Amino acid sequence: MEIRKGVSMSSLLSKSRFKELCTRLGKPQLSLSFGILFFMPLIEVHGQSVNLPSHFDVDVTVRQTPQGAQLFINQHIVDGNDVYPLPVDYDTRHLLVPSVFGTPDAPVNDIPHKTDDPGWLMSASDMLDDEILWFRALGELRYWSPDTQSWETELTGGEQVILYGGLPPGVLFGDPEELAFWQSGTQWSQQGVEGPTESVIEYVNGGIHAHLDFCVKDSEGTCVSFTRRGRRLTGGISDTGNPQPGAYLIEMQMFSTAEVESGVKKYRDSEPFFIIFRQGISEEEFLLAQQSLVSVPQIETQPVPAAGILIMN
């Protein structure tokens, strides 16, 4: 099992602040507006410079359900011995995992527009060695604009978020064109998903602790020239262009191809979840983007005409 340590994300979000943010987003308070009771997340911004943990993981587990064993994403992320609760998207009830792309002023491993967080963590008791944990890309790329402070229907720069998964069995020494397809990465755009829509997170070996590379680029940029290292794809960003500042949202789920017998899956797929990336915007703006997803929409009520008596001739 390969364990990759996280990287410093200076000038982005501090551990204590991140814990406070996750706690506040994850624990709503009751508010009253327009006579309607609804849940409103507690979000406070104090203006200080804060940082995300330099390393954190999505906690994946297997639970027994009446329908059989199922993969679950626990409602927290893990940073060593620290656990931080995750907020939930109001419309879909999907978990919302925050992350941050590096910038030219604060690159990750000297690489802008890239991150390998979140990682993926699973204990040794959940799946058997040599079984494989996969991800499946869903939906399309969503973009929150700091200018309009809303989720936009069009990305004028043709931006994509790309996740570089591992290689499935038999691909490495197979057809070169097939290998190139898998190495191109899973690409979310506002038109949907291109490239391999399903890819490997890690082969189980006494559990899982893996970090895959995400990056964001514009239509003129390119993400990476990858080289092989065992079953992991690694590499550096060459020129990602100038992706628009904002928040980028992708949707995915976990699954396994392991079977209890031919044609019968051993593990049911996880529920879908979101990852929201901060790209070149302030902490306050990133909080607004998240708040727009976890808040109950306020419903404007129309005035009700006064009751009267209709007199007809």
Q: What is the pLDDT of residues 210-227, one digit of tens each?
A: 999 999 999 988 886 443
pTM to 2 decimal places: 0.77
Q: What is the pLDDT of residues 43-91, one digit of tens each?
A: 232 232 334 566 789 999 999 999 999 999 999 988 888 888 899 999 9
Residue 72 lies in a domain: yes
Q: What is the pLDDT of residues 105-163, one digit of tens each?
A: 666 655 678 899 999 999 999 999 999 999 999 999 999 999 999 999 889 899 999 99
Residue 307 lies in a domain: no
Residue 94 lies in a domain: yes
Residue 160 lies in a domain: yes
| Number of domains the chain is built from | 1
Q: What is the pLDDT of residue 87?
A: 92
Report the alpha-carbon distance of residue 103 to residue 287 in Å, rounded: 18
Given a cut of 80, whether residue 42 has pLDDT beyond it is no
Q: What is the pLDDT of residue 142?
A: 97
Residue 271 lies in a domain: yes
Domain carrying residue 217: 15-47+56-294
Given a cut of 90, whether residue 237 has pLDDT beyond it is no
